[in-house]
Structure 1
Amino acid sequence: MKQNIVFNMPGRVWLFGIIFYLTGTLASAQISGSVFRDFDNDGARSTSVPTLTGARSTSAPVELGVGGITVRAYVELSTVPITTTTDANGAYSFSAAQIPANSRVRLEFANYPGGYFPAPHNGQGGGTTVQFVRAPASDVNTGINYPSDYCQPGPVKIVTPCFVNGDPLKTTDANGPIPTELQSANADAIVAFDYNAFSVKGDGNSSGNKAQFPADHLALGGQVGSVWGLALQRRTKQIFSAAVVKRHAGFGPLGSGGIYVTDLNSTSANPTTPFLSFPNDLGIQTGPDPHSGLPGNKLFPSNDPGPMQAMGRVGFGGTDMSEDDQTLYVVNLFDRRVYGVKIGVPAQKPNPATDVKSWAINGPGCPQGEFRPWALKVHHGKVYVGGVCSGEYAPTDASNLSTAVSNTLLSGHVYELDPSLPNGQFQHILEFPLSFERGSADLTGDCINFKYWQPWTDQFPAPCNANFVMWPQPMITDLEFDVNGHMIIGMLDRFGHLSGVANHDPNGNGYYDGFTGGDLLRAAPATGNQFALENNGTVGTLTSQNGVGNNQGPGGGEFYSDDAWVFLGNKAHDEINNGALSLIPGKNEVISSAYDPIDEIYKSAGWRVHNNTSGKAERGFVVFIDDAGSFGKASGLGDNKPICDVAPVEIGNRVWFDDNRNGIQDAYEPGIDGLVVLLYDGNTQVASTTTANGGQWYFNNSNVPGGLKFKYNYQVRMDMTQLTNYLLTASARTIRPTTRNGARLAATPTYALSPYQVGSGTDSGIRDSDAQIDGNTAFINVVTGDAGENNQNYDFSVYACPTIEAQPNGLTVCQGAPVGSLTVKAASLALTDKIKFVAFDTPQTDPTVIYSATNVLGIVTPSSSSTVAGGVLVSIDASAIQTNTNATVTTFKYVYAVVEPVSPMPSTCLPYDGIVITILPKARATATGGVVTCAQPSVTLTAALTDAQNTPITNGVYRWTGPNGFTSTEQNPVVTVAGTYTLSAATAACPDAFTTVTALVEQDEEIPVIVDAFGGVPDCTTCTVTISATVTPANSTLLWQGPNSFTANQATVDVSEPGFYVLTVTGPNGCTASTEVEVQPPSNEEPCPVFTGGTSLTLCSGNPVPPLSVTVLTEGTYAGSSVAFVYSATPLADPADAYNGMGTLLDTVAPTNAVATLSTTAIPTTNTSTQTIRRYVYAILSPTPADPTCRPVSQFVLSIDNPLCVPISSARIR
């Protein structure tokens, strides 16, 4: 997947647009800045902008903004960032509503495109991808770049091969040695010029032009022969060149498969040597040498027919180097494969078995032709190959100029390969027809009719004007990519390598001058990894300034429109491009090889520089002007390559004071300046630097002799003892050394290294500490990145562990008394720190246990108003501690002050101090009560106090409470009311630490109970009668008192004197009860007899009445009386009426053993009704007593049912 960074503002309004944007957006911003492409690796964004002329406004690169970069702002103590994203111009801002003024802010820049790395630090306008600012702040910028897009800001050379006529391996001919100045072997084959060169080379016959740009002579024909493709190994500054087939110009010593190396650092006169032969060293064929009959004298013509077929099919096409300089990529035209040859750094011949990979380029399937690759470009990790469908099998008659018309068989194609994939294959990313109308390579005679690409042919064409020959055959020979992701396509006319200057046709006839009409096209990124070719001068958002509708490109126009040559004031050539390209990112221009690149200079070769915004040409440069043995207008130059240095690498970032000890950089935590940081290679110090600008430190080419090595193990060290010169505090933006003495020196905290790499979450490595400790040395093990892979995320973090000191460390309280305020003095606290007070019942020494306590008394935020010498006082109200334990021995509570929160703190930093609370014991108290009785109506309560050793305490404090609101402060009060009395007793030392006990006063005033008391009547005047009583409790004392001063104390007493007798009973508790009984005088009356008996029974009709019996008790005068039974059919209203003659006498019966029984059938028992009938029998005394009050009666009730009755058992009644 390709990630494009697109510069998408039209060139005409770019400068105005960005000024307007920044002015309008940043005016209200609290913090603002931009993310830019730092092409020159200076860490600062240049002010150069694209222009329609001159390419850019200054010599510095145009460093475009980068959209889509995430910018995170952490404000003050917040751990949750405010996030925004850079816009298409790379700008971002945070409003005042998001970030208050004067806030300390930590900015992070993240989410770079793949393969991009931070620019180096620059204190004058460019920071790293982590920056610390205070709002408001503007121009908070950071640069990023793709390492291979780097080119040094200083002088840059551009290298190009020159083709020389003849056989470069011959120095003699039939006439003997060839003069040196005429030898092909001694002619320039590779040269270099200043990148900014214009006009004519310094050592040429410039026809009056002032020479300013002399050539660097890098290789002669005899060393390399004909080479086209170039690859630069930046790390070693070596240029690799690859053999190419060119008619009239022979190969070098390695033949068609030869690759040569030029050491640009060498001071030797011959810095170029053979490097690798594909056939001989790797066993890979590149095709036979097609040349024949070439002279060693560069002035002599030749037939050389072989290249007519071999050109584009033998030898090499494009060449490039991997971005890590390890692998040389080449297109082998013979087998149409791309080879990746691992040569290493420094370069050496590869092992053919292990160091060579290749990929087939199968092409799209070409009608009447073949896919012919040539162009090769390594860009941002991918390999791109360009080629054409040649149409070479189509019938062609090069002798008939009228056949040179539009041809739909021809098309251009570009493929993309990810060489890192194990089974990577080329993906087709661009296809376009080559049937569009173009300009002609020459506008004289019939040559003007060559306005279209023609199929490849091995024929030599007929001249189109005198000795001018041309037959434009398309080849895509070079690719470049602009900073906005556009693809630049260089096209070479194959016929340029099939012709020469004043040279023969393949049959040895004539002296022909060849013309080559290449092209320069552009394609913009489209969907996915696809590209879209320019159309009528418009590509992407850009439109050519002059090329729209000029009928010389796809869709009727061309973007790069200044590709014509003017001679004597008239346009003479319409297509002068020669297929080789160079593009340095940020320069807003593309260099294209060309013939006659400067108007009015005839038969020359060099390059033309095109503005990449407008498409116009900015300047031209001539390498040669019709020099002896040169190729004039027939592709006299090969590829060109700017010699950009390898991007240097930088490491570093910051030493900061980790105020909250969590190992994470917070916005408010300051950097520490003035610390010496050392760079070690193994045990050898190789560089040193001093922290500045907020604790920043860096190692790079400026302070490491020879520069940092790529992918190399270093160790960065810092002596921790330097910190003794510092008082670190988070209140300062930057900390610098402080001179201290006396008390301040004594109060210096001990500094330690923060926890190692504790970050988590996205991009955690950019905000944590990377150092470890060895003795007093903090160190970071560093592996440098490859070229340009800066890593400014190596941070040292130090913290001061807080100290806590109890003020004081103990106090004594009485039980039940509040503890009150507890105070500690704390020092070296973080701004976020609080003091937590925790309580234990037992002493603790393990800080982890103390810090994990759950019995928290409270958490207190320190106040600056409580600052004292050496720290800040922190107090808590400890009244929540329970001292009312009721213990009778001394008890203790242990309160510890710790730092809160604990979670970020290192395990080695768990400060605490304890306060021991001594709780004096309560005295042991006892209390006794008593019993209130009738005899003892008051009780004395008694109280006593003893200590834990049971020693009596004499100076106690006593508080009694009891029933009916009773209170007393006497030790032994007297009470009269029964109940529970509560004693709260304490010592005089702790008068509020009461021990509470109770004493019971019982009440025993229960009055004795006289259950029974009886008097009586004597039987005679001389008889006695017994008086008696039953009482409870049984142990009570009895006292009888009666007539004639009678007294007795027995329960039963015989008395004879009538009258009232008083019984007084006294209980054990002294309580009394009394009652009175009467003894009546004797009486002469006899007792009335008593009947018992009588019943109710049921009879069935007609059944006899069973015997009826009564018991009669008689005595005295009634002894011997009989019982009369009287019958009545109805009940008597008063049963005693039976004595008055009512009813029928049934019988009179004398009792036998006091029982009188009636047996009779005289009672009728027949019942003919359906209702029950009743009959009544009364037993009375006979004879009737004289005393009318003596009328004893017993009654019998007989119930008689009808004949169907069932007898019911009788029930006795009185």
Structure 2
Amino acid sequence: MNANGRWDSVLEPGWAGVQVVLTDDAGNSVTGTTDANGVVKLDPGSSLSKGKYRIEVKNPDPKVYSPGQASPRTDLLDRTVLSSNVEFVDLSGGKNVEITTSFWSPEDYCQGNVRLAAVCQNANIPTAAPPSKRTLSSFTFNTRGDAVANPGLVTDLSTEAETGTQWGLGYNKVTRQLFTSAYAKRGTKYGPGGPGAIYRTNPATGATALFTRVPNPGTTPHQPDVNMDLAFGSVVGKESLGDLDITPDGKDLFVVNLHDRRLYRYDAMQATAAAPKASYSIPDPGCAAAGDWRPFGLGIQDGKVFVGGVCSAQSTGRKADLRAVVWEFDRTTGQFTNTVMDQPLTYPHYALSPPAADFCRGRTWYPWTNTRPATQDGVACPPGGIANPEPELSDIDFETNGDMVVSFADRFPDRTGWALPDLPGYPATTTFQGGDINRACRGANHMFVLDGNGACTNNATAATAGVSQPLDVQEFYPGDHVSGYNGIHSETAQGSVAISKVETTMPLISEDPILDPVTGHGLHWLNRSNGTRVSEDNTSGLYMNADFGKARGMGDLETMCDQAPLQLGNRVWQDTDEDGIQDPGEQPLVGATVNLYDADGNKIGTTVTNSRGEYYFDSTITKNVAAEDLQYGRTYTIKMDNPADYQAGGVLEGSSPTRPNVGDNEQIDSNGETGGSPFPAITVTPQGAGQNNHSGDFGFTKSSVDLGVDKTAPAKVLGGAAIEYQVTVTNNGPNDSTGWKVTDPIPAGITDARTADPGCSINNQILTCTGGPLKVGQSHIITVRGLAPNPPVDTMIENCAVVMGNEPDPNPSNDKACDPTEIDVPVIDPAIGTTTAAALLTLTGTLYHHRRRHTIERTR
């Protein structure tokens, strides 16, 4: 997720169900699928030839995922270093090899300690908020402390005068602009754009302007001077705007209209928008009554848009009718395709731990109403403090493993307020908000099921329950409470989290985020893996707003992540069989220069292939190209155009590009094309941020030459006699040879070995011969003479010669030739004499002369 080319097992879980293929030189394969931990073990067994193999890890969905950033590496020893999705391994001699590779959704990328943005809401009762009071601020992920007392901890970006009350917040990674949406909340006021306003803020300058007005947001006015805006409470969650999100490509802004219950779509690349690109009615999932369907939240993941809402049960007043529903929306077709979650909201919550037994504590979710309840679960709700959570599905996020993080805001405090006096028909009320952060995991039919309904790991324990809390609660995130107040504030979440997938913790908007005796709102952080609060002290949270007491005073929270970086690569190899495919046994080309050019022909990066033939261009790992020079949507050309590489002594001397684009698997072919140029090139146009391309492979061939060697030696000679043998090198085609080398260890015991061939030398009883060009059909004969050994008994000696050419040899089976010779002990006739006998034996020895080729063995 952080594009560092290494596997962080804590942040980057294994991926199940990914296909992996192991292939040998003959093209035979075995296939496996990764397990729940993302691991697969492949054994060549008896079905594959022994030695070297190609490993291919198949992309589960190329439309969504791209290869993750890889590291150029000289070995495969460190399993935390990420390889490309195609690797080459040597398992000969019983070796085992472990490699790790990755795919990513580029939208998951984020830089460390990213800046966050958060919305603050200001009270206009009993007195109006100052026009200069903050409504939007930014700060780094690691910021902690009291920003109310020390406002310099955060950067204020917009004010009450510029935007009024907001909730939704989105960040455009491409234009680096923030967008916020108006929100209906009692006791506040709308900004200059009214209830349908969306504002655009430049975080670099703080300049804020009206982006657009969403049509039909409702018309109920705020009346802060009439019973403290009491009448406005009934439209909370039903007018103005809900959540706002922007697609990772920066093109679309989506926002939920709470009044007409439609999803609006705007061009997010523009400074202003006169009208939406489109709007879509968000389907009623079958609530008890049509008016009960209340969409609000948005989420975007893997190119899909998700819209969430609740069946409010306001028409029936029955908790059994409360449901949370999430729809999937297809950006391409403009259709809502299916529901991915449909869950009852009847599970228990942690509740307040009040001093009075008749205090209405909010043990679960309750149907929406427009009044203050007189009783709750059979308990009277007297004037004063009350918790009566009414659910709004306000935000949707996704974890790295695909789990959904569902944020619920509490509507009740937004319509009732904090420490308000008796009003006509409405007793004095001090509302304790009771939102919740939930995990939703895959259940039956691949639908998401909430943790409260038993689908996810239950991290709730006695230690997290606080004082007087029952243990029937099931929660993945028990850390959304404040135990420092004796457990009295047990559901402090206010409806929004921000997940940076390169961090181990996640912040949420919460009540009383620090433990000083303060009342208000800000952020505290949860452990992403077990849901516990990171810590509870004055430095573990960020306090931002004192308005509305404990009744909810902030809106959405957003990460301001950069766009994912790009990487291009990755391999240059010797295509020995000239088939255009990277076979396992074919060798990498080391030290070859690769250059990267922009669309104007400017060289913007250069590198050389490593010992495994790999090369990469990126700004994050190899850092051989500037980030501003490597951007998606631009066209680049990768060239192997260093003339020195092709000259004498160069790594590509005598080489030419192999056949490009062979077959239908671009991950294992060669992509280098000459197009009339002497140098191969690959043209690449990345279409999106982080869409890494590791298919930039170059294969080279040298004109193949089948050199064969023959050995001719006498079948029998007498010990101590002269011996002569010949080595013949023949070019069998199909191309002329530029040169060759013969090596022939002279058998032990032969003395006075010599040759008159000018290309040969004998050192330490090893004959070495080199020759120049040899045309097709031509042969070169090397003659070696010496004296045979003089053993005490008859024996056999064998002489073997090996030839190697400058060019690839398509037929290595004839590169070695051996021929045995029998050495006999002389039998001397006393009547003739030794000298005469020796001469006679030398002459008659030619009668035994024969020719042997290749590896023919002779036995006695």
Q: Distance in 1 between matches of 2:265 and 2:459?
A: 37
Alignment check: 8 A CA contact 1:161 1:639 kept: yes
Aligned residue number for residue 329 of structure 2: 417
Partner of 2:272: 349
Q: What is the deviation of 1:186?
A: 0.5
Structure 1 unaligned runs (5+)?
Answer: 1-38, 50-61, 174-181, 279-283, 295-300, 396-405, 728-736, 739-747, 808-820, 831-863, 878-898, 904-1214
Per-residue deviation, 1:41 = 1.7
2:264 equivalent to 1:370: no
Q: Aligned to 1:292, which of 190, 213, 223? A: 223
Matched residue of 2:354: which SS?
Answer: coil
In the alignment, which residue of structure 1 is the partner of 2:232? 307
Tell me, yes or no, if the aligned pair for 2:298 and 2:305 is still in contact at 8 Å: yes
- Asked if the contact 1:339–1:358 (Cα under 8 Å) also holds between the matched residues in 2, the reply is yes
Shift of 1:615: 3.1
1:583, CA displacement in angstroms?
Answer: 2.1
Partner of 1:436: 347
Pairing 1:130-529 to 2, within 5 Å after superposition: 130-135=86-91, 136=95, 138-152=97-111, 154-166=112-124, 183-198=129-144, 200-201=145-146, 203-205=147-149, 214-264=153-203, 266=204, 268=205, 270-278=206-214, 284-293=215-224, 303-344=228-269, 347-350=270-273, 352=275, 355-367=277-289, 370-394=292-316, 407-421=319-333, 424-441=335-352, 443-445=354-356, 446-460=358-372, 467-503=384-420, 512-529=429-446
> How far, CA to CA, are the matches of 2:470 and 2:396 in structure 1?
18
Residue 625 (structure 1) shift: 6.7
4+ runs deviating over 6 angstroms: 98-102, 508-511, 547-555, 804-807, 827-830, 864-867, 871-877, 899-903
Q: 1:103 aligns with which of 51, 55, 78?
A: 51
- Taking the aligned partners of 1:237 and 1:331, their CA distance within structure 2 comes to 22
What residue number does 1:41 align with? 3
SS of the residue 2:609 aligns to: coil
Deviations 1:871-923 (A, max 9, x none): 7899899xxxxxxxxxxxxxxxxxxxxx99999xxxxxxxxxxxxxxxxxxxx
Partner of 2:500: 584
Deviations 1:505-563 (A, max 9, x none): 66598875432111222221123341223257x43466545599999899643332233
Rate the CA distance shift 1:600–1:828 in 2: closer, same or farther, 3 A: farther
Q: CA offsets per residue over residues 92-140 of structure 1, 9 Å max, x none?
A: 3344757999934332211424512111121361121122333446442
Q: Is the 8 A contact 1:305 1:507 kept in 2?
A: no
The Cα offsets for residues 605-644 of structure 1, whole Å up to 9 and x where unpaired, read as 12333334333222465443764xx222111111111222
Amino acid at match of 2:449: A
The code of the aligned residue for 1:225 comes to G
Q: Counterparts of 2:545 and 2:272 in 1: how far apart (Å)? A: 38
Q: Distance in 2 between matches of 1:316 and 1:680?
A: 47
User: Secondary structure, in 3 states, of the residue corresponding to 2:107?
Assistant: helix
Superposed CA deviations along residues 20-46 of structure 1, whole A, max 9, x for unmatched, are: xxxxxxxxxxxxxxxxxxx21212112
Equivalent position amino acid for 1:428 in 2: T
Q: Equivalent residue of 2:69, what SS?
A: coil
1:908 is aligned to none
Give 2:30's aligned residue: 82
**Aligned-pair CA distance for 1:368:** 8.8
Paired AA for residue 752 in structure 1 = S
Secondary structure at 1:497 match in 2: helix
Quick one: distance in 1 between partners of 2:296 and 2:180?
Answer: 14
2:618 is aligned to 700
Task: Name the amino acid aligned to 1:700.
Answer: D
Aligned AA for 2:28? V
State the secondary structure of the residue aligned to 2:40: strand
CA distance in structure 1 between the aligned counterparts of 2:601 and 2:666, rounded to whole angstroms:
31
| CA separation of 1:558 and 1:183: change in aligned 2, threshold 3 A | closer
- Superposition pairs of residues 510-909 of structure 1, within 5 angstroms: 512-535=429-452, 538-540=454-456, 544-546=460-462, 556-566=473-483, 570-585=486-501, 587-599=503-515, 601-619=517-535, 622-624=541-543, 627=546, 630-693=547-610, 694-701=612-619, 702-705=623-626, 706-719=628-641, 721-725=643-647, 737=650, 750-760=654-664, 763-802=665-704, 823-824=730-731, 868-870=770-772
CA distance in 1, matches of 2:432, 2:703: 81
Return the alpha-carbon distance in structure 2 between the equivalents of residues 506 and 217 of structure 1. 35
Paired residue type of 2:511: Y
Alignment CA distance shift 1:710-1:447 (3 Å): farther
CA distance in 1: counterparts of 2:280 and 2:290, whole angstroms: 27
Listed as ranges, the matches of 1:991-1140 within 5 Å are none
Counterparts in 2 of 1:725 and 1:101: CA distance versus 1, 3 Å: farther
Q: Paired residues, what number?
A: 713
Q: Using the alignment, how far apart are the partners of 1:228 and 1:442 within structure 2?
A: 29
How far 1:866 moved relative to its partner? 11
- 2:115 partner amino acid: K
Could you say if the C-alpha distance between residues 567 and 800 of structure 1 is closer, same or farther in structure 2, counting changes exceeding 3 Å?
closer
Give the 3-state SS of the residue equivalent to 1:698 in structure 2. strand
Is the 2:618–2:630 contact (alpha carbons within 8 Å) kept by the matching residues of 1?
A: yes
* Residue aligned with 1:65, SS: coil
The alignment's C-alpha RMSD in Å is 3.9
1:471–1:724 distance in 2 versus 1, CA, 3 Å: closer
- Residue equivalent to 2:854: none
Which amino acid in 2 is paired with 1:222?
A
Q: What does residue 991 of structure 1 align with? A: none
Distance 1:155 1:429 in 2: 32
The residue type paired with residue 110 of structure 2 is C
Kept after mapping to 2: 8 A contact 1:674/1:691: yes
Q: Could you tell me how far apart the structure 2 residues matched to 1:679 and 1:386 are? A: 45
What's the secondary structure of 2:195's corresponding residue? Answer: helix
Q: Against the structure 1 CA distance between its residues 481 and 625, is the aligned structure 2 distance closer, same or farther, given a 3 Å change threshold?
A: closer
By relative contact order (CA 8 Å, sep 6+), the higher-ranking structure is 2
Query: How far apart, in 1, do the equivalents of 2:351 and 2:683 lie?
Result: 63
Matched, 1:122 2:71: yes
Distance across 2 between alignment mates of 1:372 and 1:120: 42
Deviation of 1:648 (Å): 1.1
Q: Quick one: which amino acid aligns to residue 290 of structure 1?
A: P
Per-residue deviation, 1:484: 2.4
Q: Classify 1:93/1:469 alpha carbon distance in 2 versus 1 (closer, same or farther; 3 Å).
A: closer
Structure 1 distance, partners of 2:809, 2:469, is 74
Cα pair distance change 1:506/1:324, threshold 3 Å:
farther
CA distance in 1, matches of 2:54, 2:32: 14
Q: Label 1:468 to 1:683 Cα distance change in 2 as closer, same or farther (>3 A).
A: same
2: distance between equivalents of 1:309 and 1:867? 99
8 Å contact 1:543–1:559 — kept in the other structure?
yes
* Counterpart code for 2:497: L
Q: Is the 8 A contact 1:185 1:221 kept in 2?
A: yes
Aligned-residue offset at 1:420: 2.1
Alpha-carbon deviation of 1:778? 2.2
* Counterpart residue type for residue 287 of structure 1: G
Q: The residue matched to 1:781 in structure 2 has which SS?
A: strand
Assess, with a 3 A threshold, how the Cα gap between structure 1 residues 555 and 113 changes in structure 2: closer, same or farther: farther
Question: TM-score under structure 2 normalisation?
Answer: 0.75
